[in-house]
Amino acid sequence: MVRFVCLTVFMVALTTPVSAQDTAEIDERSLEIAQQTVRLIKADMLTDQILDSMVQTLEPSFRQEYSAASDEQIEQAVQLMTDMLRSNRSAIVEATADAYARNFTYEELEELNAFFDSELGQKYMFMSERISRLGVIAGQQLAQSAYDEALPQIDAIMAE
The answer as to whether 59 is a domain residue is: yes
What's the pLDDT score for residue 14?
53
Chain segment 43-91, per-residue pLDDT in tens: 888 888 888 888 888 889 888 889 999 999 999 999 998 898 888 889 9
* Same domain? 53 vs 124: no
* Same domain? 109 vs 124: no
The answer as to whether 133 is a domain residue is: yes
Whether the Cβ atoms of residue 80 and residue 58 lie closer than 8 Å to each other: no
Strands (E), the chain: none
* Same domain? 53 vs 109: yes
* Same domain? 44 vs 101: yes
CA distance 77 to 82: 8
Chain segment 106-129, per-residue pLDDT in tens: 999 999 999 999 999 999 988 887
* Same domain? 64 vs 53: yes
CA distance 10 to 42: 19
pTM exceeds cut of 0.75? no
What's the pLDDT score for residue 156?
86
Q: Is the pLDDT of residue 7 over 50?
A: no
Helix (H, G, I), strand (E, B) or coil at 17: coil
The answer as to whether 21 is a domain residue is: no
* Same domain? 60 vs 4: yes
Q: Which domain holds residue 132?
A: 119-160
Whether the Cβ atoms of residue 158 and residue 150 lie closer than 8 Å to each other: no
* Same domain? 97 vs 44: yes
How many domains does the chain contain in total? 2
* Same domain? 58 vs 123: no
What's the pLDDT score for residue 2?
37
* Same domain? 103 vs 125: no
Helix (H, G, I), strand (E, B) or coil at 27: coil
> Stretch 129-140: mean pLDDT, rounded?
83
